[in-house]
Each structure stands twice: as structure tokens, then as C-alpha cells.
Amino acid sequence: MKNNLAERRTGRNWTQADLAAALGVSRQTVISIEREKFDPSLPLAFLIARTFDCAIEEIFTAD
Amino acid sequence: MSKVPFTSRRAPVHHYVLAVILGAILTIAVSVLVGVSNPGDFWLAAGIGALCSAYPAMSLGARVFVSNNTVTRDARGEQSVELQWMRQAGAGAFLDVLVATIVAVLVLVIGRFTVDALPVLLGLVVLSALDAGVRYLVIRYRALK
């Protein structure tokens, strides 16, 4: 899955550690999602969308 | 039993005492069992048994009586990438150990070699632990580089 998580995160001036803390996951998890090497679970995808006040499909798109 | 605030990260003192008592009981039980199974050298065998079992026994005591008060549960641990890495490493290590065991069995059967079971089993334990550890590090390195 492709995503624009890095752009959204930097748009808020958040570090990867900030986002990881907000999501309650490790920084490695955020790094892996941003590099599109790890597809988050559905609950985590919902949480990410809620964190950025948008819908899941605005962040994640199928390859 | 007193309740300790979840964030205090300290267990009541009697929990630590109970952990040590449970660990000591298990250590003594294992060492006596090992000693009895080697009657010719009871104290040496019992000592080795105690050395091998003390750490896991004390750890079990801490897990049962202390951890609930001192360890914060990772609410989203299931959703972290580390869990996926561990699963991948474990699955790969399992297949490696399976193949290694099959190859070893074939070599022993075809070559009609006779070996003690203990070193073979210890070798499998070391192989599986090392394999899973190395695989985890490689998967992690590839994901983060």
C-alpha cells in the first residue's frame, strides 16, 4: 500500500517519535509504514486516520 | 492483598519475597531432581542443576508475583512492526531447523553413525535460537536501512 504519512507528519512538524507516541506504537513501526515496508493493521490505520482528522483512503491507497 | 497504583512501578515488598521463595523452591526441586538422577555424584549434579534452574525459576517468580505491578502492558504491541519481524524470524528459523534436522537424520541413517542425543538436542536449541536472532536482526536491518 502506498501512503502519504510522511508528508502529513512533516506538515504538522511532528517527528517520527512524536507520531509513534501519539499512535502508541514504536518509532520503527512509523518508519516502516512511511517507507511502505509495513502495512498497518486496520485498527492502526483507523487510528492514524483519526490522528490526522481524515479518512483512511486519504492516507493509504492501493498499489 | 494491597493494591498498587499501576504507574508506581513498584510491587508490594511481600510480592518480591514471594517471588524469591517460589524461585528458591523451584531451584531446589530441580537441583534435587538432577542430583537424584546422578546418585554417583549427587552434589555436583545438584549444583549444576541449581545453576541452570536458578535464573528461569527466579524469573518465573518475578513474572507471577512482581510483573503485574511493575510492567506496563503494551496496548498496541500487536500492531507494531516488531511483532511481524519476530513472526517472520520465527517462521524462517523453524524451517531452517526442520531442514537441518532432516539433513542430520539422513546423514546419520546413511552413514550409520551413532551419536549421543544430548549434544544433538543442545545443538538444535542453539541453532534455533541463533537462527531466529540473526534472522530478526537481518529483517530489521533491511526494513530500516
Tens digits of residue pLDDT in B33-64: 999 999 889 999 999 999 999 999 999 999 99
Contact B79/A35, CB-based, under 8 Å? no
Placement of cell 542443576 in the chain? B49
With respect to residue B53, please indicate whether it lies within any of the assigned structural domains.
Answer: yes
pLDDT value for B138 = 96
B138 and B86 housed in the same domain? yes
Closest-CA distance of chain B to residue A43, Å: 8
B84 and B123 housed in the same domain? yes
Contact A32/B81, CB-based, under 8 Å? yes
A2 in helix, strand or coil? strand
Placement of cell 549421543 in the chain? B116
Number of folded domains that form chain B: 2
pLDDT value for B1 = 36
With respect to residue B8, please indicate whether it lies within any of the assigned structural domains.
Answer: no
Complex ipTM more than 0.85, yes or no? no
B42 in helix, strand or coil? helix
Q: Residue B78's pLDDT band (boundaries 50, 70, 90)?
A: confident
B64 and B20 housed in the same domain? yes
Does residue B5 carry a pLDDT above 70?
no
Query: What gap in Å lies between CA A35 and CA A25, rounded to an integer?
Result: 16
B96 and B127 housed in the same domain? yes
Question: Which of B76, B80, B143 has the CB atom closest to A37's CB atom?
Answer: B143
B123 and B97 housed in the same domain? yes
With respect to residue B5, please indicate whether it lies within any of the assigned structural domains.
Answer: no
Averaged pLDDT score across all residues of chain A: 93
Placement of cell 490526522 in the chain? A52
B18 and B39 housed in the same domain? yes
For residue A42, the chain B residue with the least C-alpha distance is B79
Give mean pLDDT, residues B5-29: 86
B58 and B95 housed in the same domain? no
Give mean pLDDT, residues A2-14: 95
pLDDT value for B8 = 56
Contact B144/A40, CB-based, under 8 Å? no
pLDDT value for B74 = 73
Give mean pLDDT, residues B109-125: 90
Picking from B72, B74, B78, B79 by the largest number of A CB atoms within 10 A of its own CB, the best residue to mutate is: B79
Which residues of A are less than 8 Å from B79 in CB distance?
25, 29, 40-41, 43-44
What is the span of the domain harbouring residue B105? 77-144
pLDDT value for B3 = 39
With respect to residue B103, please indicate whether it lies within any of the assigned structural domains.
Answer: yes
pLDDT value for A60 = 94
At CA B83, angle to CA B82 and CA B85, rounded to 5? 65
Q: Which residue has the higher pLDDT, A32 or B79?
A: A32
Domain boundary, last residue among B51, B70, B89: B70
Does residue B23 carry a pLDDT above 80?
yes
pLDDT value for B6 = 46
CB pairs under 8 A between A and B: 37
Q: List CB contacts of B42: < 8 A, sequence separation 6 or more.
A: B35, B36
pLDDT over 70 percentage in chain B: 94
With respect to residue B7, please indicate whether it lies within any of the assigned structural domains.
Answer: no
Least confident of A30-39, B66-75, B108-117, B132-141: B66-75
Query: What gap in Å lies between CA A30 and CA A24, rounded to an integer?
Result: 10
Question: Which of B79, B82, B140 has the CB atom closest to A41's CB atom?
Answer: B79
Contact A8, A58 (CB under 8 A): no
B66 and B81 housed in the same domain? no
> What are the CA-CA distances from residue B137 to residues A16, B86, B96, B129 (Å)?
21, 10, 16, 12
Contact B80/A26, CB-based, under 8 Å? yes
Q: pTM value?
A: 0.67
